[in-house]
Amino acid sequence: MATVVLKRTGQKMPLVGFGLWKVTKATCADTVYNAIKAGYRLFDGAGDYGNEKEAGEGVRRALQDGLVKREDLFITSKLWNTFHAHDHVKSLAKMQLGLWGIDYFDLFLVHFPISLKYVDPSHRYPPEWFGDDGKVYLQNTPMQETWGAMEELVDEGVAKNIGLSNCQGSLILDVLRYAKYEPQVLQVELHPYLTQDALVDLSKTLGIAVTAYSSFGPQSYVELGIDKGIPSLLQHNSVEALATKYKKSTAQVLLRWATQRGIAVIPKSNNLDRLVANLQCNSFDLTDQELRAISSLNVNLRLNDPAAIDPRISIFA
């Protein structure tokens, strides 16, 4: 299995993993179990996805049935925005481990560089973006406090690796000024409509591995009604032409465009056939010219932008 070697720990992160956003509670345990059976080793979860307990059930069944050992798996989760204060980082990460039923995360990411007012998990979990009255409440926790607590998670063995998500260059450089442990991974929206070339180059320079999310661009956002009406990448003429040439699916072409450049992917599918096919995306190579042709579709289209929730959290402004 193709992997990316993480700089500080030397741990190998699979280049293709399985994303757990919008995998329903009812199907999550079976989906994770079947994904492990199909060969997936990396699972990308988050407190916000509301399915950590069910994902953990799938893992537990796979371990019990002897499909894999814990050390064969790479389990990622993320810290939600309402838990950025030092003590909340610590207590939530441990609570999340309990939900998964595991004793360490391979990777724990700060989900967004946005700090929102604490919501007690016994009151509502996951808390999402809003208070009980439907309004967004900000909290003044600086990233330095949050990152310090993330580092303590490493020292305590809660997380082997820590990283960032949805961060841009200036914030990454700021974290590096005080980091005892540098971010190992940066997870960002990245697809041919949003190629993020400068951010990828900076991450390479700094030795931070990049994971692309929403590799199929608008597809993930259609069901949420926020795909901005842009034509599907899965049916784009240029992508279809390459899929025909290589006898692959358009999804596999889109994933290979990232993985061939060392960018990890975490496609999500609730369909077993698509899930299996996505994992097999590394079985062919595109030419440099073809990689560049796909990159030329870039229109800087960002689909996952918190500015749409509240203009005060326009982190990509």
Ligand X SMILES: NC(=O)c1ccc[n+]([C@@H]2O[C@H](COP(=O)([O-])OP(=O)(O)OC[C@H]3O[C@@H](n4cnc5c(N)ncnc54)[C@H](OP(=O)(O)O)[C@@H]3O)[C@@H](O)[C@H]2O)c1
Mark the binding-site residues, compressed into ranges: 111
List C-alpha distances in Å: 140 to 84, 109, 165, 193, 295.
9, 19, 19, 33, 38
Question: CB-based burial of residue 197 (10 Å sphere; 0-12 exposed, 13-18 middle, 19+ buried)?
Answer: exposed
Task: Output 196 or 215, the one with its CB closest to ligand X.
Answer: 215
Beta carbons of 53 and 100 less than 8 angstroms apart: yes
How far is Cα 211 from Cα 52, in angstroms, rounded to an integer?
A: 20
Residue 283 as a binder of ligand X (CB under 6 A): the answer is no
Which residues, numbered 257-276, are part of the site for ligand X (CB under 6 A)? Answer: 266-271, 274
Least separation, in Å, of the C-beta of 92 and ligand X?
16
Restricting to residues 172-231, name those near ligand X by CB under 6 A. Answer: 187, 213-216, 219-220
Beta carbon nearer to ligand X, 203 or 214: 214
Cα(first)–Cα(last) distance of the chain, in Å?
Answer: 38
Is 165 a residue that touches ligand X (CB under 6 A)? yes
Cα separation of 44 and 62, whole Å?
Answer: 17
Active site residue 137: no
Annotated binding site for substrate: 111
78-117 residues near ligand X, rule: CB under 6 A: 111
Tell me whether residue 100 or residue 213 sits nearer to ligand X (CB atom): 213
CA dihedral 19, 161, 50, 221 (to 10 degrees): -40
Question: Scanning residues 36 to 55, which ones bind ligand X (CB under 6 A)?
Answer: 44
| Size of the residue set binding ligand X (CB under 6 A) | 28
Angle between helices 169-178 and 143-155 (to 10 degrees): 60
Residue 157 Cβ vs ligand X, minimum distance, rounded to whole Å:
24
CB-closest chain residue to ligand X: 19
Q: How far is the CB of 311 from ligand X (least distance, A)?
A: 19
Q: Which stretch binds ligand X (CB under 6 A): 20-28, 32-40, 118-126, 240-248?
A: 20-28
Cβ neighbors of 231 (< 8 A, separation 6 or more) are 218
Nearer to ligand X, 115 or 165 (CB): 165
Smallest gap, in angstroms, from Cβ of residue 66 to ligand X? 26
Decide if residue 234 touches ligand X (CB under 6 A): yes
Active site residues: 49
Q: Give the residues lining the site for ligand X (CB under 6 A).
A: 19-22, 44, 111, 165-166, 187, 213-216, 219-220, 234, 249, 251, 266-271, 274, 277-278, 304
